[in-house]
Structures are given as structure tokens and as C-alpha cells.
Amino acid sequence: MIETIRLTTAQAIIRFLKAQWIELDGDSHPFFAGMWGIFGHGNVAGIGQALEQDGEFTHYLPRNEQAMVHIAAAFAKQNRRLRAFACTSSVGPGATNMVTAAAGATINRVPVLLLPGDTFSRRNVGPVLQQLEYPLGQDISVNDCLRPVSRYWDRINRPEQILTSFPEAVRILTDPSETGAVTISLPQDVQAEAYDFPESFFEKRIHYVPRAIPDPTLLLRAMELIKNSTKPLIIAGGGMLYSGAEEALAAFCESTGIPVGETQAGKGSLNWKHDKNLQGIGATGTSAANRIAKEADLVIAVGTRLSDFTTASKTQFQNPDVKFISINVSPFDAGKHSSLMLVGDAKATLERLNQMLAEKAYSVSQDYEETIGKLINEWHKESDRIFAPGNGGKVSQGEIIGLLNAFMTDKDSIVCAAGSLPGDLHKLWRAENGDQYHMEYGYSCMGYEIAGGLGVKFAKEEGDVFVMVGDGSYLMMHTEIVTSLQEDKKLIIILVDNHGYGSIDGLSKNLGSLGFGNKLRHRDPKTGKLTGESLKIDFVENAVSLGAEGIRVGTGEEFNSALKKARENEKTTAIIIELEPSDLPGYDSWWDVPIAEVSEMPTVQEARKEYEEKVKKERYF
């Protein structure tokens, strides 16, 4: 006789989520940390009632549904995918507000469970408030917009369907090779419907994260490729950190002498002081990493999806004989660039390869080591130059990054996502560990920064969280400041006020245009264009009006003083500063942004000529 318990679908879901655990290397803990949600008619009487009745599965109240998914994604990333939040929304706009952030979670390979409310499964009440009527079928709702941005999608039309749907959802969320946003759509009538669920469904379940090692034959081939290379290079991606492979990477580099270039997600895989750390690689990389990459005859890509920024739009690797090895838990990513595919865990695979190479006494040549050291020293001098105070005018973005970098401890974290800041941070930030640097650059989603900072703060037991954000991004989504105050999760926000979308304004000008449509200006009544006076926005008063503290600074000394005050404050503090536009060079890299082939503007015509030359260097691997 199967023992059952009568619960609503929503009550059963909450009970099931509480019973899910995850284990890596013998360390196990609950997978879900609670649920973020804004209630409406599509979830208040179902999921809302279940949460209230349960009382143990913590509910967190955000200000925006997109923001709550950003919070959840940042929390999961900072926890290296070993913890996650669920997110619930109402029908309609609540659900569609989650689409953008769901895409970000899936692109960045971090687990988030989305539980949007939906229209009536029984259909007799319709069209319900906020229901999309689709004339070619009655099984479509706005929640179907979440299908292409989810790693798994389902709709529960009967209570018993959760018995098969939710275990599969959690399997995907806890699988390093498949994780991302998971959406299970919950019609509001089904949420409240009761069913006799088997008690066994709510027993504790541990989801084990394996450390898979690639096939021995492939490891032997990889070893031979490495042995026969003269200028090998490692690219450290986010998978390096998710695997906890920092020590294995350091040991591998010290044993073989092979240098490392870091992606945005992999920054901090090696301490910046390590003598084999070239730091950022690609379109936003350092001169050291990009010059090594240009001549590399073997690229060992570890835990990276090799995006166009990492490969400088497939122009970074110019050695005609270059070969690729990819170590990745995802076969999809491991197969890129015609790589030798080592499908497996980064830590376990690096340790095995290092052991095999040590048996052959492999290491790079002394000449190559000297070149690596020379280029790293040159880059350190260049970044010191950028960090130095300028002569007159506004403070530079590089100077502020240097001051913040020097102020922060190894327990603190910096969070950023969009604009020119991520590129400068990738080049310049001297990361001491992988938890100090948190960049959302898979989707580079404007509006992520403050919400993401809050997610990081929820994940940290010690240290402050510093959020760097431009005024354009801030205006898109800053109200989670209120949530940080409500939850007593202090953020230190550095708001760069450049009167608009400064990054794209600069890109536009670099491509021959004039920065059209990027500045926050009044419309000129004579021309009808947005070329009038700049809008006067008091960001200090804005932050204060939300309950935070605001400090305006104008010099490096004032910025340092504000950082100290913010550290001492008990609540969220915003530091506002105007900076000179970022003008750092590309350092032997390029990013493919197509330029108009035909134009009446001479500057665009010239930019097109240069573009046509650079695009010739792109390669298909």
C-alpha cells in the first residue's frame, strides 16, 4: 500500500523543493535557498498560500520580476552552481518580465527555476485577465515565450504531472552540462487543486555532481599534442571556477610552464600575481594574453564556450598550424573550433593530464618562458600607467578601477555587466581569486548590476559587494536598492554618470558615426533631434529617496574617502562620479561590428575600408 498525503499542487511543489539536496566531493547541502516572487492573481492563492502555510521555505520580495531572476542567477553563479533560487510570478506581464533574465541565466549556464502562473487549464474561465488569445490554438499562453530561453520547459495541466516533471527539472538544474533556466508553467486552477501525492515523492533526494574524466585514448592524444607544441596557451573559462579547479590549474602551469589567459567568467582562476597569468584574453584582453594567443600553436580551452569576445571574433589565433583541445563538461562547447574533445570535469582532467605530462618531464622552452615573463611585466607597467592619476580634467575610468582594486580585500566582490566598464575591468582588474570578480558578460544585460550585486550579497558570508554601473544601466533597473534595504544586504554602488549610453556612444564614434541616439539630452526644437542640453538627473537624491545613502565625488581623493565611508555605513550606499570616457586601446585584438557598406558619410567610408581589411583575418575552425 502506497502511503499518500493530500496536498494542493502548489503545496506539493514547495515540499518537493525543500527535499532536494546537492553533493560535490562529499559535501552536501540543500539545493534551493528559497523563492523570490511577486504575487498576483495567477499565483497568490496557489504558490503564495503554499509558501505562507509552509513557513520554512523562505519567500523574498523583489521590485521587478526580471530583477528577481537576475538576483537568482547571480546567487547561483557566486555559489558556483551548487545552490539556486526558485522564482514565481503571476500570469501575463509578471511571466514575460522574466524572459530577459532567463535568457541571461541560460546563456551563462547557471541554474534558476522559474514558476510562472498561467491561465486556467480547464479553460471555461477565459479569456482571463492578462490572457493572450491565440487564434490558431488554445494551448498557447505568454509563458511559451520562455521556451527558447529555457533548458527545460513544461506546463502542468494535472497535479500528478509534477511527479515526473519536477524530478526532471531538478536533474537539469543540477547537471553542469545542461543547467540554465528551467521553466515550469503553473495554471492557476491547477496550483490550487488537491491530489493524493505519494509520500515517497517528498523524501530527501541527493543530486550528485560527478567529476567525469575523458576517455583514456583521448587523454593520450591530448598529451601528445601538448608535448609536440612549442607555444601552448590555456584559456581559463567559467567552468574552471565552477569545478573548483584553481589549485589544479596553478599546479599544471607550474609543472608545464604553460601560460593562462582568462575569460570574463574565468577571471580569478589564477591569482593575478602568478607568473603564468596573462590575465584577460580576447577583444577586451591584455597585450600579454593577446600577443601570446596570436602565435600560439596549441590552445587548451578549459570550461569556456569560446565566445566572439574571447576569440576576438575568430581573429585572435593567427598561427596557421594552431590546434585546439577543449576540456568541458558540455560536448556542445567541447566541440568548438574543431577541438580535440575532452568531455569531463576541469579539475579532474587537469590533474590527470598534469600527472601524465609529469611522467614525460614536459615543460615549455626557456625562451618561451622568458617571452611570457617579459610580456606580463610589460602589461603590469601598462596597467600601472592607466591606474595613475591624470593631469587635470575629470578622473579617468582606469584611475577609479585602480583605486577600487587597491581598496578591496580578497573577501570582497565586484559586480558589473554592461557598458565600457566590463571591458576595462577585464583588462585591468587584478583578481586575487575567482569569488572576487563577478561579471555577467554572456548576455551583458543592462540592468543586471544592482540586482546581480544583491544576489552575490546573498551568497557571501563575509566581505562587501561593490557594484559598478553606468547611469544608463542604473536608470533601467535600480529599484532593487529597496530590496537590499528590506533584506539588510548592504551594497556599495559606484555609479558612473556619463549622461547616457557612453559605451555605445564611443563605439559609434569609433566606427565612423557620430554617437547618434546615445546621450540623455533634451530634444532640440529647431532640429527635432536629441541634441539639446543634457538632462539634469540628481542621482544622489534618487538614491536617498529610496532609503540609501548617496555621495557625489569629483576627485580620486574624494572617491577613496567615499569608499571608506561606504565601508563603515550599515546600509546601501551609492557613490556617484563623472568620468572621462574610456579610451583604452584594443591591445592586439578586434571585435567584429559590421559597418555600413554604402554611406554618404566620409568617416563611415574610411571605417568601412579598415573593417574590410580586418575581417579578412577571421578564421573558420
Neighbouring CB atoms inside 10 A of 293's CB total 28
Mean per-residue pLDDT, 299-326 = 96
Rounded percentage of the chain residues whose pLDDT exceeds 90: 90
How does pLDDT run across 529-560, given as a tens digit for each residue? 998 998 999 999 999 999 999 999 999 999 99
354, three cell numbers: 598534469
DSSP for 43-88? TIIIIIHHHHHH-SS-EE--S-HHHHHHHHHHHHHHTTTS-EEEEE
For the ranges 15-29, 375-389, 502-516, 593-607, the lowest mean pLDDT is seen at 502-516
| pLDDT surpasses 90 at 117 | yes
How does pLDDT run across 316-349, given as a tens digit for each residue? 999 999 999 999 999 999 999 999 999 999 999 9
- Backbone φ and ψ of 299, nearest 5°: -115, 120
| pLDDT surpasses 60 at 242 | yes
- Residue 1's pLDDT band, with cuts at 50, 70 and 90, is confident
Domains of the chain: 4-208 (3.40.50.970), 216-379 (3.40.50.1220), 390-497+537-580 (3.40.50.970)
Give residue for cell 498560500.
49
| pLDDT surpasses 80 at 518 | yes
| SS3 readout for 497-509 | CCCECHHHHHHHH
| Beta strand 437-439 pairing with 260-262 | unpaired
| pLDDT surpasses 60 at 142 | yes
403-406: list long-range contacts, CB under 8 Å, 24+ apart: 403/556, 403/559, 403/560, 403/563, 404/466, 404/468, 404/494, 404/563, 405/429, 405/430
The size of the chain, in residues, is 621
* Residue-level pLDDT at 391: 57
Distance between CA atoms of residues 445 and 433, nearest Å = 24
DSSP for 238-290? HHHHHTT-HHHHHHHHHHH---EEE-TTTTTSS-TTSTTEEEE-STT--HHHH
| Segment holding 493, helix H or strand E | strand 492-496
Distance between CA atoms of residues 220 and 213, nearest Å = 12
| Segment holding 163, helix H or strand E | helix 162-173
Identify which has the larger pLDDT, 380 or 607. 380
Neighbouring CB atoms inside 10 A of 127's CB total 11
pTM check: above 0.95: yes
* Residue-level pLDDT at 126: 85
Whole-number average pLDDT of the chain: 95
34 Rama class: left (phi>0) / alpha (psi -120 to 50) / beta = left
For the ranges 22-26, 31-35, 236-240, 602-606, the lowest mean pLDDT is seen at 602-606
* Residue-level pLDDT at 583: 81
- Backbone φ and ψ of 397, nearest 5°: -65, -40
How does pLDDT run across 448-465, given as a tens digit for each residue? 999 999 999 999 999 999
- Residue 392's pLDDT band, with cuts at 50, 70 and 90, is low
Nearest to 269 by CA among 350, 204, 326: 350
| pLDDT surpasses 80 at 621 | no
Asked if residue 584 lies in contact with residue 608, where contact means CB atoms within 8 angstroms, the answer is no
Exposure class string for 375-410: b at 16+ Cβ within 10 A, else e: bbeebbebbeebbeeeeeeebbbbbbbbbbbebbee
Q: Packing angle between helix 65-78 and helix 99-107, nearest 10 degrees?
A: 20
Rounded percentage of the chain residues whose pLDDT exceeds 70: 99
* Residue-level pLDDT at 431: 98
Identify which has the larger pLDDT, 7 or 393. 7
- Burial zone of 360 (CB within 10 Å; 0-12 exposed, 13-18 middle, 19+ buried): exposed
The DSSP code for 298 is E
How does pLDDT run across 175-187, given as a tens digit for each residue? 999 999 999 999 9
| pLDDT surpasses 60 at 496 | yes
Distance between CA atoms of residues 555 and 562, nearest Å = 10
Nearest to 21 by CA among 134, 222, 174, 160: 174
| pLDDT surpasses 80 at 62 | yes
606, three cell numbers: 574610411
Distance between CA atoms of residues 6 and 126, nearest Å = 28
Distance between CA atoms of residues 416 and 400, nearest Å = 14
Strand, helix or coil for residue 412: coil
* Residue-level pLDDT at 393: 65
134, three cell numbers: 491565440
How does pLDDT run across 39-54, given as a tens digit for each residue? 999 999 999 999 999 9
- Residue 582's pLDDT band, with cuts at 50, 70 and 90, is confident
201, three cell numbers: 515523492
Asked if residue 275 lies in contact with residue 450, where contact means CB atoms within 8 angstroms, the answer is no
